[in-house]
Structures are given as structure tokens and as C-alpha cells.
Amino acid sequence: MSEKIVIVGHPNSGKSSLFNSLTGLDQTVGNWPGVTVEKKEGFFFIDDNKFEVVDLPGCYGLTPTSIDEKISLDYLLSSSPSLIVNILDGSNLERSFFLSLQLFFLDIPIIFFINKMDVAKSKGIKIDFEKLKGIFSCDIVLGSVKNGEGIEDLKILIKKNINKKVCETKYFKVSDKVYLHIEKISELLVKYKEFEKHPKFYSLKVIENDKNFAPSIFKILNEKDLSKIKSIVDEVYKDIKKKDFLTLDWFYSLSRGIVGEVTTKEFSDKKSLTEEIDNTLLNKFFSIPIFLITFLFIFFLTFFLGDIFSNFLSFLFENLSFFLTKIIKEGFLLSFLTEGVVGGIGSVITLIPYIFFMYIFLGFLEDTGYMARVVFIMDRFMHKIGLHGKSFISLVLGFGCSVPAVLSTRVLDTPKDRIKTILIIPFIPCSARLTVLIFFGAIIFGKWSFLVIFILFLLSILFAIFSGFFFDRFLLREKSEGLIMELPDYHLPTLKNLLLNSYFKVKDFLKRAGTLIFFITVIIFLLSYFPKNVEGGFIRVAGEKINFLFKPLGFDVERTVSLITGFFAKESVISTLGVLYKGEQIERVIVNRWSSVDGFVFLLFLMIYLPCIATAIVIKQETGSFLYLFGIIFYSILFAYLISFLVRYFLLLIL
Amino acid sequence: MKLIELKEGEKAKVLSLFGGSNFVCKVKNMGITEECFIEVLKNDGRGPLIIKQDGSKIIIGRMMASKIEVERL
Ligand SMILES: Nc1nc2c(ncn2[C@@H]2O[C@H](COP(=O)(O)OP(=O)(O)O)[C@@H](O)[C@H]2O)c(=O)[nH]1
Ligand SMILES: [Mg+2]
């Protein structure tokens, strides 16, 4: 039998860091609000007792305004954990108590872990532990996850507190009438089995008149209770001006009161280091040039370092094929091993260095806190396509891989914002498409390839922007509500976190895309090998059948087929062509057969047409609708075709 | 006056929030409640503002900032 505990805290309070040090299962540690998107579960032992622990997405309070917060609240209400470990930010207690006070209403046992005491100390904040214990009846630990302080104490207290008492604070009772009214309502609600677990929470929602809860609560109540409750609510608002979410003001004033009572802060007039840095990085004139240079530099480094490792890996795989040819000589087995297996694995493995370095550098920007500044800088440009700055982060992630980019839209506040962003992401050139570009670019354009790649890259980004306009004007016209988010202080990231972060991302990529690419390659190989009496096999026959569609773009049968397999994973275009141009070196075939216009148009088409299958799956999952998925598939094919067609005839005319 | 009209370095008290319940909720969750005190750290006249409230800094878009009524101190 194991007990279930949950870690709850606001974004950036250190939940994931605590989760890691409890379970020992290291995972991503980020720095911009809302980075914990997936539900992370783990377990650990204290003596012989097993504890399951869940790392919930960050939330500011219990009135959710984003999917992340909704996930957390739903989980707390439905799963009935034995204990909440509420993690507070010792350097920003007002914000933290605001959440803690609301958690009391869930009637679940709770422990406070006040984290980041090292930061609090450096800011000159002192916390009076005894006074704090006088205010709250629950157990409290002061510590710092980063320095490993307080973790052992926490473990001992976790064991002691499981299923124990529900915490109280004298603050509710002395300070305001609101709490008394909430208690009165919950006495009525507790009789209903729907509300018996968290009666105080539902009472709070009734008083707040929270549209996500109140109407459905009223529906369940019988008439007598309903009228009683309504009169209690009227009582609350009798002497005061009616305000939306009055209780939130109340929680804030309580938490400011508590902070005033238990902490002292040395007064300092000096600007903090973060403010000094922001003076430069967010300067009205320099912010955009600095941003552009930073990102250019990161792209340069990613490809510079990626190339070195990737070339080395390619070299190994070539030698492996060579070696196999020497010992097996000929026949099906040789083709299968060299073209199918080694080719398939090779095309996946040589991608890894690019992805790894991309995530290292993106992770670095996240962990330092620069990403939040990017939101600030890009906000006014994103408004032009009806979005705001937070969407830009998802688009940047899209340069790595569309799948995590689509998932990251969960921190956006409204469904319209999310859908718009999700629909643009497939047009951001991801690292897989970039590898395809680099591979073919080098063959077709030689020393000019970097220029051609750059042009294709720009065209593709322009098209993403165009799509943003298009969706904004014709599809989802509703304006976004606008941006509001915390600006974290700068942190120096640890190398360990960066490496672990990238490691898990690459592992995820290998699991998700890698196996898929490998199997596609093997299947393509088999389809092109059999039936043996037909040159080029089954797939060639199929390709010939539909090739007339792509004749106007100048594609041969092989390229047509590779477009189909490219849907499964964009990189598999390379391995498919490798398999289909049988027996010959792919480089030589391309140089001989493709004109540079052909090559350019083919690459352009590849950049725009169809999201890959993994992306398609998450688009369906996150928008919850096949309509958007098929819409985006149709839209992308249509425009890929149109644009490639126009560009081809334009180029043929002028060259 | 509106929050958006404040200049860099000016301090103000929040008077009221004009908007739908989702807007009010979001703003209050970030600690910007009626009667609280804020300081504008950055307002370039375009793009979002950065304000300081208690110990934390908040980025707030111009659209949202124009829906917050404040009183300059
Ligand atoms: N100085 C300091 N930094 C911490 C501490 N705990 C976490 N952090 C940092 O705070 C940031 C956010 O931590 P994370 O665990 O991702 O927070 P989450 O969003 O709540 O999951 C990371 O950069 C951590 O390295 C601490 O005790 N002291
Ligand atoms: Mg986290």
C-alpha cells in the first residue's frame, strides 16, 4: 500500500527540482512560468513506506485561467491525495501564501516547504519561524532544494503527516466575516455526496460566483438549501461594493498581512542585478538587435557543433555498410542490412547531435530567464497576427521540433490563442526539415548551399507569418485577451540541469520519432524490393500511378514516393530516396538528374507540405478536433503546391 | 487614470479592474488586486509594460494595462 502525495506551488517555485530530489528521477528543470506541462509521477521510500508523488503544473491560485492550472485543480479535486506538499518561494512569500491560503479550503492535509531560502537571504529577507508556526497549525520546513537543505526534514514530516489533521490558521477567523459565511455554506453542502470531500472549497466557489462551478453547484442543491445559501451570499455582499472575485482580494490582503507579521526585509536602494541586466537587454533600441544576434548565434553554434558530431557518425555508418558488403557480398540480406537497417538507423542517429545542441541552447535561454524577456520583446510583433508574446515561445520551440512546441501551447490562456498558435507551428522549419535541407542543399548547390538554405528558411518563416495573418483574418477573428505573466529573475543555469534536460528530450525524440523512422525505412525497403520481378518494386508502381499529379512541379517517381513517406517523418525523405535510387550513390544520382531549379522547388515543397505524423497526432490531441487537423493538412498541401508551382515557373522564366 | 499612462519609475495605487471575469481573475492571480501598490519599471510607449508588485515583476500587455484604473502616488 502506498500513499499518494502531490507537490503544489506556483510556477518557478521549485516544484520540479523538489520532485527530482525526492524521487531521484531527474527531469526537466525550467525557468519560465509553466514549463511543467506533462504530469510527472514518481515514487520514493521513507524507511519501508512507499510514497507516490505527483508534480503538478504550476498554479497561482484555485481559480484557473489556463489549462495548466485547470489540470492541477481537477487533479486535486478528483484524486484525493493523502497529503499536499505546498512549496513556497521564500523570496516572494506574498504570492506563495495567496495560493497556500486557498489550499486550506480543500480539506486535505498539508505541509509547507518554504524554498529558495538562499535567495531570500541574499535579498535580505528574514523569516520569523516561531511566529509563522503560531499562525499555521501545519508543519513547516525552511530550505533550499538547490543546496539540498531541508529535504531530509521534509521526508520525516511527510511520513508523520500522511492522512493526519487538516490544517487551520487563526487568520481566517479573526480577520474577516467571509470565512464564517463560508463555514455556514459548507455545513449545508457537506450533506451532498458530490461536495462531501471538499465542502469548503465549493462554498468558496459559491461566494466567488465562479462560473466554472457555481451554476453546476446550484443545479444539484434542493430548493430549501438553495434559498438558504443565496441569502448567505447576499449577506456577504450586503455592506460592500460588489466586486468580481472579491475573495482573491481577501486572500491577498491576508497574505500581505501574514508576510508583514513574519518577515523583515533590509531596506536597500540599490538596483538588483536583474534590473541592471534588463536595462540593457530590454532597452528600447537595443533589445531587438540583441535578440536577433543571440538567436543567430545559437543557430550557428547548433549547426557548427551538430555538423562535427553528425559527420563523424555518418562516417561510422558508411564504414559499417562497407564492412557488411565485404563479408556478405550480395543478395537480399546485404540489401536489407545496408539499405534498410543501417540506412534507417543511420538517418535517425545522425540527426541526434543537432537536436541535442538545439535543446541545450534553448534550455540555456529558458533557465537563465531570457525566454521570458523574449516574450516581452516579441509581444508587439505577435499582436500583428492576433497573438501575444507567450505564443512566440511555442513558435521558437518549433525550430527544434513541432511536437513539444504544440504541447507547450498549454500555458496560453484562451483556446483561441492556443489553436491559432498550434496551426502556425507546422510551418516553422523544424530541425528535421532543416537536416533535409542541409543534406540536399550541400549536394545540389555546393558552396552556395548556405545561401539557398537561408533563402528557403526565410521563405518558410514568411509563410508561417502569412498563415498567422490568414488564420487571424479569416478563421479565428476573436482578439486575444492579452499578455500577463511573471518576469523571473535571472538565474545561472547548472550544466547538470541543461544536460539532463536535453538528454530526456533526445530520449523522447528517439522513442517517438526514432522507432517510427526506422520502421518506415525498413518497410519502404521491403516495398521497393518486392515483388522481385518488377524493377523498383511495389512502391515504384504506386509512385508511377500518382506521379502525374506532381509532374507540373517537375518531380520524378522517386521524389513523389519520398513525399509520401515524408509524412511519417520528414527525415525519412532522405533514406527513402537512398533506398529508391537503388545501387547508386544518392549524391551522384541527384547531381546527374536534378536541375538546380528542380532541387529548389522540391525542397520548398518539403518545407511547407503536411505536418509529420507525430505532429498531426498531437494537433488532433491538443485541439480536440479532426476538423483542425484535416483543415491544416488540406491548407498546407494546397499552398505547398501553389507556391512551388509559381516559384518553379518564375525561376524557369528568369533563369 | 489608466495604468498604461504611467511613466517609468512612477508609483500608483490600483483602483479598479474593468473587464470580464476571466480578465479580473487572471490579473488578481498575479497579485494585482484593488487597493494594491505598484511601480512601473518599464513603459516604452509601445509593447508591454513591466511593473513591480510586492517582490515580483510582471509583464503586462498594453491591452490589459489599459483596462486597469490607477491613481498616481
Ligand atoms: N537559488 C535557488 N534556486 C532554486 C531553488 N529551487 C529551485 N531553484 C531554481 O528555480 C528555477 C525553477 O525551478 P523548477 O523546479 O523548474 O520550478 P517549477 O516551475 O516549480 O517546477 C530553476 O532555475 C531552479 O534551478 C533554490 O532553493 N534556490
Ligand atoms: Mg516544473
Are both A176 and A166 inside the same structural domain? no
Question: Within this chain, do residues A562 and A458 fall inside the same structural domain, yes or no?
Answer: yes
Instruction: Give the lowest-confidence range in A132-146, A228-242, A271-285.
Output: A228-242
Averaged pLDDT for residues A223-231: 86
How much distance in Å is there from the Cα of A287 to the middle of ligand 1? 26
State whether A304 and A228 are in the same domain: no
Q: Enumerate residues 6+ apart whose C-beta is below 8 A from A9.
A: A15, A58, A86, A87, A88, A89, A96, A99, A115
A339 shares contact with chain B (CB less than 8 Å): no
Are A312 and A248 in a shared domain? no
The range of the structural domain enclosing residue B8 comes to 3-72
Q: Provide mean pLDDT across the span A411-419.
A: 81
* CATH code: domain of residue A255: 1.10.287
What would the mean pLDDT of B21-28 be, rounded to a whole number?
A: 87
CATH at residue B30: 2.30.30.90
List of chain A residues whose C-beta atoms are within 8 Å of the C-beta of residue B63: 479, 481-482
Q: What is the pLDDT of residues A120-146, one digit of tens each?
A: 888 888 899 998 888 888 889 999 988
A86 confidence band (pLDDT: 50, 70, 90):
very high
Q: What is the CA radius of gyration of chain B?
A: 11
Domain shared by A151 and A210, yes or no: no
Provide the mean pLDDT of chain A.
82
Q: Is A379's Cβ below 8 Å from some Cβ in B?
A: yes
Q: How far is B70 from chain A (nearest CA, A)?
A: 16
Q: Please tell me what DSSP assigns to residue A488.
A: P
Output the pLDDT for position A242. Answer: 63
- Has residue A103 been placed in a domain? yes
Cβ count near A60 (within 10 Å): 26
Question: Could you give the CA distance from residue A415 to residue A628 in angstroms, rounded to a whole number?
Answer: 13
Q: What is the ipTM of this complex?
A: 0.95
| Domain assignment present for A158 | yes
From chain B, the residues in CB contact with A372 under 8 A are 59
Residue A638 has pLDDT above 60, yes or no: yes
End-to-end CA distance of chain B: 12
Query: Which of A170, A187, A213 is the last residue before a domain boundary?
Result: A170
Same domain, A323 and A471: yes
Which tens digits make up the pLDDT trace of A577-589?
877 776 567 777 7
> Does any ligand 1 atom lie closer than 6 A to the CB of residue A17?
yes
Statement: the pTM of the whole predicted model exceeds 0.90: no
A-chain CB neighbours of B25 within 8 Å are 63, 65, 244-245, 248
Domain at A99, CATH number: 3.40.50.300
Q: Answer whether residue A271 shows pLDDT above 80.
A: no
The preferred substitution site among A8, A10, A12 for testing ligand 1, maximizing ligand atoms within 8 Å of CB, is: A12
Q: Kindly indicate the confidence band of residue A646, based on its pLDDT and cuts at 50, 70 and 90.
A: very high
Task: List, as ranges, residues with CB under 5 A of the ion ligand 2.
Answer: A 15-16, 36
Provide the shortest C-alpha distance from residue B42 to chain A (in Å).
9
3-class state of residue A444 by DSSP: helix
Q: Are residues A141 and A185 in the same domain?
A: no
Q: Indicate the number of domains in chain A.
A: 3
- Provide the pLDDT confidence category of residue A513 given band limits of 50, 70 and 90: low
Q: Whose CA is nearest to atom 26 of ligand 1?
A: A116
Answer with the one of A108, A140, A170 that is the final residue of a domain: A170
Structural domain includes residue A618: yes
Q: Are A424 and A467 in contact (CB under 8 A)?
A: yes
Residue % of chain A over a pLDDT of 70: 92
Do A42 and A149 fall into the same domain?
A: yes
A479 assigned to some structural domain: yes
Residue A33's pLDDT is what? 35
- Going from the Cα of A646 to the center of ligand 1, the distance in angstroms, rounded, reads 51
The answer to whether residues A384 and A510 belong to one domain is: yes
The CA distance from A417 to A525, in Å, is 42
Q: Is the CB of A91 under 6 A from ligand 1?
A: no
CA of A631 to the centre of ligand 1 (A): 40
Dist CA A622 CA A538 (whole Å): 36
Question: Which cell numbers in the block locate residue A222?
Answer: 434542493
pLDDT at A1: 61
Number of domains in chain B: 1
**Does A316 share its domain with A209?**
no
A560: domain range? 287-484+493-654
pLDDT of residue B22: 82
pLDDT tens-place string over residues A497-507: 788 778 877 77
- pLDDT, position A39: 62
Q: Would an 8 Å CB–CB cutoff place A276 in contact with chain B?
A: no
